[in-house]
A and B are shown apart, each in its own frame.
Chain A
Amino acid sequence: MRKVSIDPITRLEGHGKIEIFVNDAGEVANVYFQVPELRGFERFCVGRPVEELARITPRICGVCPEAHHMASTKAIDGVFGVEPTPTGRMLRELLYSAFFAGDHTTHFFVLSGPDFVVGPTADPAERNILGVIAKVGMEIGGAVIKMRAEANELVSLIGGKAIHPVCGLPGGVSKPLSAEERDRAVEIAKGQVEFAKVALQIFDDVVLANADYVDLIKSDAFTHETYYMGTVDESNKVNFYDGKIRVVDPAGKEFLKFEAKDYLSHLAEHVEPYSYLVYPYLKGVGWKGFVDGKDSGVYRASPLSRLNAADGMATPLAQAEYERMYATLGGKPVHATLATHWARLVELMYAAERTLDLAQDPEIVNPDVRNIPTGIVGEGVGCVEAPRGTLYHHYKTDDKGIVTHVNLIVGTTNNNAAISMSLKKAAMGLIKGGTEISEGTLNMIEMAFRAYDPCFGCATHTLPGEMPLEVTVKSERTREVITSVKRFM
């Protein structure tokens, strides 16, 4: 009996572990997924003025600080019982949409793109952004870098600084947008829409034109029928910044629609002794284990989940692509995990169009950007759609606004149960008794994982955006290692 192992070489000790146990016949018996934990987050926050959390929580992790800043700012609105002014709200959403476009671009071209563009079983030394630009052309590489830089520029126009914005205050934002800044925002947003068109064209040319990839996306090994969660506006269209949280069942029928502040009434957490990271599930259905179907409370919150949970997109080009995606993949909801990559590009288009719409709205330069709070409620829940799933911040304070309690449910945590299920199913579909387990096979198992764009930086309050992965295949009976694949940083 042997074990397969993917050891990361990294500057940090903590890393995710996927352990695949196989029986004596070489068939997959079980798969465990574990992530490391950092300590003392709540203790670090308790006793501080709640306004500080909008600057502290983005530092948990370097991947989506902007999402934490927004969810935190909204939770602080709740603590002080104040709503932002219309322009304050629009500026927050403008910043957030620009951030989303940049983040989704990175995922497609840098993280998931290599699997498709270079190939899932290609030499790992080539399966990266360098391999991608070697295939699709240097000008695309330059366009990706420019897109990211301009998204950061727009974030800093509103946020005060790139990456870690400081603009969010209870009741609005800290400064209005000048006419010159607005002009630049419009220019950037127009470029983002053009870029999104190019990204969708590349997806067409590279993925959809390749029958093997389409078969892979539709294959049973990468399919789960679960509930889906996402934030929707009044017309049940996808919204990243605000709205109600809607959950649809595996048949696509609305199961729940609730206000963020009521999240504890609808979500509960299952724990397993081998993982620090909890497994949220739908209270109304109940925890039935790591299983699919209508009777299992497992839900997913991802780009594909948001599209499944909504009735459409609020902007025209994204709506057209939304319709094309469902027509191609056989109608709603789509259960194919790898279709998440297509959904992410539909959302990229929406984020770009939304950025442009907001930047062109005459009210965006209105100087009335903040309502000053006059009282204190002492509790608030802030919720946004983070790129990786619905993000909840829940704070309680004393009557002076000093933090007494903090609870976060972050994007990836929502998907913890589904990620475990996807890994197991992919492993069972790809590892067969009597055949050698190659690096390419393990990479394809990891593709089930990467589709969720998982990020455990804040899920376990862990390492700043770096989540090296170790995959080991072990004997179920002897616990001996069968194979090992190392992941270098």
Chain B
Amino acid sequence: MSRTLVLGMGNPILSDDGLGLHVARELRATPMPDGVEVQESEVAGLRLLELVRGFTKVVIIDALKSGRQPGEIVRLEGKDFKGGHRYGSAHSIGLDTALELGHRLGFEMPEEVVVYAVEAVDVETFGEQLSPPVAAAAECVLEMIRAELGIADN
């Protein structure tokens, strides 16, 4: 049976970086179809690989800082983030590297990975509130993910 994981990612105490966690919590407050699991995660890299093993499809929600308009929503698919397997940070391997590693090790890896990212205003101040444009975008992302999962609006 196909299994889908919706993964809200981020840091709960760095303002807009909490977006993914916020959306995942809201989503989980409503009933999910069979085979769909919703999780919140504050991890990246190898720890992410351990989370997504065994799922057929993974939908990731995260904040982004890319120079777009605050609150702008971007939907990315696997092909969009295959940028080579360089490692650049001291402690993180990229999502693509983590997924490729899983494949090479023969793990059961998701066939489809979709990322919903929202352009953040502030991810550098300690706080638990989303900025107004990101909070508004969070509501839209919630609806987009419900549509992605085939959940009808009530």
Q: Is the CB of B126 within 8 A of A44?
A: yes
B133 within 8 A of A: no
Q: Is the CB of B105 within 8 A of A488?
A: no
Total A-B pairs, Cβ < 8 A: 146
Q: What 0/1 readout, one digit per residue, does chain A (106-123) give for beta carbons within 8 Å of chain B? A: 100011001000000000
Q: Is the CB of A138 within 8 A of B89?
A: no
B140 within 8 A of A: no
Bin the interface of chain A by size.
35 or more
Q: Which of A63, A141, A462, A488 contacts B84 (CB 8 A)?
A: A488
A136 within 8 A of B: no
Using Cβ atoms and an 8 Å threshold, which residues of chain A touch B79? none
Q: Is the CB of A488 within 8 A of B14?
A: no
Minimum distance in angstroms from A386 CB to a CB of chain B = 13
A10-B88 contact, Cβ under 8 Å, with A41-B126, A59-B11: yes
CB contacts under 8 Å to B, within A313-348, are none
A43 within 8 A of B: yes
Bin the interface of chain B by size.
35 or more
A260 within 8 A of B: no
Q: Is the CB of B94 within 8 A of A39?
A: no
B124 within 8 A of A: yes
Q: Is the CB of B87 within 8 A of A128?
A: yes
A487-B124 contact, Cβ under 8 Å, with A59-B12, A457-B91: no
Using Cβ atoms and an 8 Å threshold, which residues of chain A touch B17? 464
A130 within 8 A of B: yes
Q: Is the CB of B43 within 8 A of A62?
A: yes
Q: What 0/1 readout, one digit per residue, does chain A (125-149) give for beta carbons within 8 Å of chain B? A: 1011110010000100110010011
Q: Which of B43, B47, B90 contacts A455 (CB 8 A)?
A: B90
Q: Is the CB of B86 within 8 A of A465?
A: no
Q: Is the CB of A36 within 8 A of B124?
A: yes
The 9 A-B residue pairs with the shortest CB-CB distance, nearest first, are A487-B88, A44-B126, A40-B126, A128-B87, A464-B11, A488-B86, A466-B92, A39-B125, A466-B89
B residues neighboring A (CB under 8 Å): 11-14, 17, 42-47, 49-50, 62-66, 83-94, 97, 100-101, 104-106, 117, 123-127
| 15 A-B interface contacts by CB (under 8 A) | A10-B89, A11-B66, A63-B91, A125-B85, A128-B86, A129-B93, A148-B46, A148-B50, A152-B47, A163-B42, A464-B11, A469-B89, A487-B89, A488-B86, A488-B88
